[in-house]
């Protein structure tokens, strides 16, 4: 399989090159800002995008024009980006996820189950920590976990999300899913989902020790995606969760 990388100069870029080689596939090349995206897409069977939200529309348009599937691991996406993805997914297979690791997606499945079974009287808080260079918060993984909790409760995360507390905020609003973000050092990614009720607490934790786990998952997703029909997919479908 010939796999092209959009955002090849970033931290994930080299990890992806290594993972592609380990799995016996071909690195078709990579582009960054002002690179020849069209040439890369023409040389690739599937694209993996770990760049930035700013170039996503151009990447989607080019992939649709060429009929090539794309895995989107870029974080910091806004609502309009998801509309663009939904539109492009009518024509090509697209997998978009906040995290490509097996462990995180298993964690999301556990969070959804716990939120469904325990009910809204358990408070849910999501804590994440990443390296000092990360530019978006909460992390894409934290939002993925928040969506899993909201799905378990059958609510819209947008309407039940608490993103920041400072000063005299008043008591915690029942049913909210809280987020807290820490930044420092070279942390690849730590995530904790805390479910707290009176007199007891459950903590579900995932710690990423290096970026290779995300790269291996992205390559697995890319290969899987080449066998799919046009549509929008996620990692839980790749892993059969």
CA 183, 49, 24: angle at the middle one, nearest 5? 110
For the chain, the distance separating the N- and C-terminal CA atoms, rounded to the nearest angstrom, is 25
Pairwise CA distance, residues 99 & 84, whole Å: 19
Helices 102-118 and 212-225: crossing angle in degrees, nearest 10, is: 90
| Eight-state DSSP code of residue 160 | S
2 assigned to active site: no
Pairwise CA distance, residues 234 & 150, whole Å: 17
The residue annotated as part of the active site, out of 68, 81, 130, 160, is: 130
Nearest residue to 233 (alpha-carbon basis) of 46, 92, 123: 92
The residue annotated as part of the active site, out of 2, 25, 134, 151, is: 134
Instruction: Give the pTM.
Output: 0.79
Alpha-carbon dihedral sign for residues 132, 133, 138, 142: negative
> 173 is written with which tokens?
């609003």
Q: What is the pLDDT along the chain (241 residues), one digit of tens a residue?
A: 999 999 998 878 889 999 999 999 999 999 998 889 999 999 999 999 999 899 999 999 999 999 999 999 998 899 999 999 999 999 999 999 988 998 999 999 999 999 999 988 899 999 999 999 998 899 989 999 999 999 999 999 999 999 988 899 899 999 999 999 999 999 989 999 999 999 999 999 999 988 899 999 999 999 999 999 999 999 989 988 7
82 assigned to active site: no
Give the bridge partners for 197, in sequence order: 200
């Amino acid at each position: 399989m010939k796999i092209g990388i959009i955002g090849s100069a970033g931290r994930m870029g080299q990890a992806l090159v290594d993972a592609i080689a380990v799995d016996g596939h071909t690195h078709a090349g990579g582009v960054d800002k002002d690179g020849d995206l069209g040439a890369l897409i023409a040389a690739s069977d599937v694209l993996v995008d770990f760049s930035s939200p700013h170039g996503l529309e151009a990447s989607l348009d080019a992939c649709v024009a060429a009929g090539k599937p794309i895995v989107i691991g870029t974080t910091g996406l806004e609502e309009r980006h998801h509309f663009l993805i939904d539109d492009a997914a009518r024509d090509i297979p697209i997998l978009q996820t906040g995290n490509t690791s097996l462990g995180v997606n298993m964690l999301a499945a556990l969070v959804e189950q716990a939120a469904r079974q325990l009910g809204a009287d358990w408070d849910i808080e999501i804590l994440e920590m990443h390296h000092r260079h990360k530019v978006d918060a909460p992390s894409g993984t934290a939002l993925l976990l928040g969506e899993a909790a909201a799905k378990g409760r059958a609510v819209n995360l947008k309407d039940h999300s608490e993103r920041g507390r400072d000063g005299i905020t008043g008591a915690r609003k029942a049913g909210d899913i809280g987020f807290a973000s820490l930044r420092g050092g070279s942390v690849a990614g730590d995530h904790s989902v805390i479910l707290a009720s009176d007199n007891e607490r459950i903590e579900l934790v995932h710690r990423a020790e290096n970026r290779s786990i995300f790269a291996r998952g992205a390559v697995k997703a890319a290969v899987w995606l080449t066998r799919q029909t046009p549509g929008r997919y996620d990692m839980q479908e790749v892993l059969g969760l």
